[in-house]
Structure 1
Amino acid sequence: MTTTVTAKGQVTIPKAVRELLDLVPGSEVDFHRAADGSVVLVRADKKVTASRFQRLRGHAGNGLDTDAIMALTRGET
């Protein structure tokens, strides 16, 4: 997808990108420079939802204490 920069430095974001990012008039976007020098456009005003793995990170719950684990490994009940 190619677009042209205006004299004011403005560009039109292609419709496919607007739909992908769910951009509507008034949406805020950020530009980030990647390590390879490319520039990435991301939506800034929408909360990024964590993946199912990120949501579980650090949540082992109330598990067994060390003594209980040792008893299980030794076959004690």
Structure 2
Amino acid sequence: MGFYVLIQYLPNLTESDRKDLQRITELYDRINQRSVVSENIIKMAILSPLLDLAGFYSSMFLNQKDSLSESFLYVLG
């Protein structure tokens, strides 16, 4: 199953989601204007809010500590 097929089944974004994504985008643009961008800054300022929006901090994942740790290690590479 290709990526395009998977994104067809995603739920529509709420207005709140759109505002959050806009805020994250603006933050990324401000950070990106710096001459040196730390990977840790990107992880904290951009990746963490995106994971929150995606539900990675929901109780479903928090109840599966090993699974959550493995997911973060995979995402953070």
What is the TM-score normalised by the length of structure 2?
0.23
Greater relative contact order (CA < 8 Å, ≥ 6 in sequence): 2
Greater fraction of residues in strand: 1
Greater fraction of residues in helix: 2
Instruction: Report the structure number with the largest CA radius of gyration.
Output: 1
What is the TM-score normalised by the length of structure 1?
0.23
